[in-house]
């Protein structure tokens, strides 16, 4: 993908966005609007070219995406399955599950940013450090170059810091098969098996009878290192009866679920996974990140309309609701006590809660009644003990 940018020789910017991934590019696209044309904005990104490096999926609930990003999804499913060795729940929801290859997003975002002469892009650069300086911040790049800015938007994603940390980790292969192995009208949201080291499931987005993205996904402490490749091969063979295939795309991730929070600093705004956009129980951060970016742009516009200096701009970002986060922590505490029982808890939720209510719950959009329905589907004593039994919340 062509990403040629003119880079100014001056080293002083109103806003620097560190990271041109989902959060950084979506914010830069928001800031490409004419009302921000008087600002000097710089995006710093280590990668030198944009290729498809991941696949974003999300439930397309009403208002899932800001207007600017609507219509990018490539495939939609309304039928989906949650299963384990003994149960196979076929669900159908009004809300579709949508899939978007990252390159489609990158292409659209870069096209929007390229049209804005006040935004510049430095690829092949990494932010190393920053410190307060007169009227803003001094940023130091890996390699030694320094920049000055009024405000830093830091989207560098959190990495796994400790073996004890909770992580969602996965490897996915897109495969092209000789035999007709997949049912394109029904996706596998979670096909569980019983494990002792964490929650494990296979996820499959079937595009046609001959092609699909098949992923092996774990939620566990970071110290658990499974053999992902063997797991995908096994799933292809035993679950999809697929012997002859070509791998056309690979992706992988290790997403810390509750990354360590640093204390807020003046003039530094964290966005995306760095800014708490990831929902622990699902590993979803895509839609929340796009909304965060739009929120930051609106907050900036409001701030500037009041002629207040950038250094005093401190937007409070929308993050995962405290209640959903608390429910996720309680859930994980229960799961870790008895990993082999964990698939049963998920199946109970999907069995007893209506599919669209479940979809809203997974998307962080549920009503109180729907949250209660989810709680009601779970073994109450066990969860109450975990919630109020005085065990430490990590
Ligand atoms: C393979 C994969 C699949 C995923 N699938 C889904 C999904 O289906 N649904 C969903 O909701 N979520 C999904 N996620 C989670 C989440 O949506 C993504 O991680 C998303 O890309 C997060 O956006 P972000 O901007 O926070 O991070 P990123 O998109 O990773 O962007 C961070 C950027 O910072 C750059 N960077 C790193 N270090 C530096 C530095 N020192 N200086 C400057 N820049 C730096 C990186 O190169 C990168 O471009 C997935 C994650 C992965 C890894």
pLDDT digits (tens, 9 = 90+) for 306-348: 877 777 788 878 777 888 888 889 989 899 999 999 999 999 9
Distance between the two ends of the chain, CA-based, in angstroms?
42
Same domain assignment for residues 176 and 219: yes
Q: Determine, yes or no, domain membership for 58.
A: no
What is the distance between the alpha carbons of residues 383 and 334, in angstroms, rounded to a whole number? 7
Q: By the 8 A CB rule, do 15 and 150 touch?
A: yes
Same domain assignment for residues 326 and 359: yes
Q: Determine, yes or no, domain membership for 306.
A: yes
Q: By the 8 A CB rule, do 249 and 174 touch?
A: yes
Residue 260, helix vs strand vs coil: coil
Closest protein CA for atom 6 of ligand 1: 56
Atom of ligand 1 nearest to the CA of 272: 26
192 C-alpha to ligand 1 centroid (Å): 26
Closest protein CA for atom 49 of ligand 1: 21
Same domain assignment for residues 242 and 348: no
Report, as ranges of residue numbers, the positions in the chain whose pLDDT lies below 70: 1-10, 390-394
Atom of ligand 1 nearest to the CA of 47: 47
Determine whether 312 is exposed, middle or buried from the number of CB atoms within 10 Å of its CB (0-12, 13-18, 19+): exposed
**What does the CA dihedral 372, 359, 27, 47 come to, rounded to 10 degrees?**
120
Determine whether 110 is exposed, middle or buried from the number of CB atoms within 10 Å of its CB (0-12, 13-18, 19+): buried
Q: Determine, yes or no, domain membership for 42.
A: yes
Give the CATH number of the domain where residue 214 resides.
Answer: 3.30.70
Residue 237, helix vs strand vs coil: helix
Locus of tokens 């697929």: 242
Q: Name the residue of 52, 105, 156, 279 to mutate for ligand 1: max ligand atoms within 8 A of Cβ.
A: 156
Tell me what pLDDT residue 7 has.
38
Residue 56, helix vs strand vs coil: strand
Locus of tokens 């701009």: 313
Q: Which two tokens stand for residue 108?
A: 């659209």
Q: Which residues pair with 66 in a beta bridge?
A: none
Q: Name the residue of 1, 157, 363 to mutate for ligand 1: max ligand atoms within 8 A of Cβ.
A: 157
Q: Determine, yes or no, domain membership for 269.
A: yes
Same domain assignment for residues 125 and 272: yes
Q: Determine, yes or no, domain membership for 275.
A: yes
Closest protein CA for atom 28 of ligand 1: 21
Q: Which two tokens stand for residue 259?
A: 């990354």
How many domains does the chain contain in total?
Answer: 3
**335 φ, ψ (degrees, to nearest 5):** -60, -45
Same domain assignment for residues 46 and 173: no
What is the distance between the alpha carbons of residues 366 and 278, in angstroms, rounded to a whole number? 17
Q: Determine, yes or no, domain membership for 221.
A: yes
What is the span of the domain harbouring residue 364? 322-388
> If we measure between CA atoms, which residue out of 271, 243, 245, 275 comes closest to residue 259?
275
Same domain assignment for residues 288 and 236: no
DSSP assigned state of 128? E
Tell me what pLDDT residue 390 has.
52
DSSP assigned state of 48? S
Last residue of a domain, one of 312, 332, 352: 312
289 C-alpha to ligand 1 centroid (Å): 10
What is the distance between the alpha carbons of residues 338 and 334, in angstroms, rounded to a whole number? 7
Same domain assignment for residues 125 and 273: yes
Kindly tell me the sign of the dihedral angle through the C-alpha atoms of 159, 163, 167, 171: positive
Atom of ligand 1 nearest to the CA of 156: 34
Same domain assignment for residues 337 and 365: yes
Q: Determine, yes or no, domain membership for 7.
A: no
Same domain assignment for residues 18 and 113: yes
Q: Is 279 in the pocket of ligand 1 (CB under 6 A)?
A: no
DSSP assigned state of 257? S
Same domain assignment for residues 281 and 269: yes
Tell me what pLDDT residue 26 has.
98
Q: Name the residue of 159, 273, 278 to mutate for ligand 1: max ligand atoms within 8 A of Cβ.
A: 273
Prediction pTM value? 0.94
Q: By the 8 A CB rule, do 277 and 324 touch?
A: no
Name residues whose C-beta falls within 8 Å of residue 302's C-beta, 6 or more positions apart in sequence.
Answer: none
Q: Is 289 in the pocket of ligand 1 (CB under 6 A)?
A: yes
250 C-alpha to ligand 1 centroid (Å): 15
What is the distance between the alpha carbons of residues 35 and 53, in angstroms, rounded to a whole number? 32
Q: Which residues pair with 41 in a beta bridge?
A: 15, 119
Same domain assignment for residues 170 and 248: yes
Tell me what pLDDT residue 66 has.
95
Same domain assignment for residues 217 and 202: yes
Q: Is 251 in the pocket of ligand 1 (CB under 6 A)?
A: yes
């Amino acid at each position: 993908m062509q990403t040629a940018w003119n880079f100014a020789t001056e080293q002083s910017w109103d806003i620097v966005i560190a990271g041109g991934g989902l959060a950084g590019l979506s914010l830069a696209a928001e800031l490409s609007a004419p009302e921000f044309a008087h600002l000097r904005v710089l995006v710093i990104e280590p990668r030198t070219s944009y290729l498809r490096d991941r696949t974003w999926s999300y439930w397309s609930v009403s208002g899932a995406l800001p207007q600017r990003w609507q219509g990018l999804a490539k495939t939609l499913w309304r039928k989906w399955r949650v299963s384990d060795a003994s149960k196979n729940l076929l669900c159908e929801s009004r809300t579709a599950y949508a899939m978007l290859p990252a390159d489609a997003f990158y292409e659209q975002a870069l096209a929007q940013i390229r049209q804005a002469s006040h935004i510049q892009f430095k690829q092949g650069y990494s932010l190393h450090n920053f410190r307060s300086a007169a009227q803003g911040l001094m940023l130091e790049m890996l390699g030694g170059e320094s920049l000055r800015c009024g405000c830093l938007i830091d989207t560098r994603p959190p990495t796994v810091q400790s073996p004890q940390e909770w992580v969602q980790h996965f490897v996915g292969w897109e495969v092209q098969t000789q035999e007709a192995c997949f049912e394109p009208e029904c996706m596998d949201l979670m096909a569980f098996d019983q494990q002792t080291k964490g929650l494990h499931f296979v996820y499959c987005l079937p595009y046609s009878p001959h092609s699909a993205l098949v992923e092996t996904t774990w939620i566990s402490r970071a110290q658990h290192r499974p053999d992902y490749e063997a797991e995908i091969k096994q799933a292809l063979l035993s679950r999809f009866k697929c012997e002859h295939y070509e791998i056309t795309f690979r992706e992988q991730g290790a997403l810390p679920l509750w990354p360590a929070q640093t204390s807020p600093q003046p003039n530094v705004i964290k966005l995306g996974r760095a800014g708490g956009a990831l929902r622990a129980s699902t590993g979803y951060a895509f839609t929340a990140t796009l909304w965060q970016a739009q929120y930051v742009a609106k907050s900036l516009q409001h701030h500037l309309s009041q002629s207040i200096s950038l250094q005093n701009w401190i937007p409070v970002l929308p993050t995962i609701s405290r209640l959903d986060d608390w429910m996720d922590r309680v859930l994980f505490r229960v799961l870790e006590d008895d990993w082999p029982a964990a698939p049963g808890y998920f199946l109970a939720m999907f069995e007893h809660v209506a599919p669209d209510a479940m979809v809203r719950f997974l998307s962080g959009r549920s009503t109180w009644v729907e949250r209660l329905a989810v709680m009601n589907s779970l073994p109450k004593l066990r969860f109450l003990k975990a919630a109020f039994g005085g065990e430490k919340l990590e």
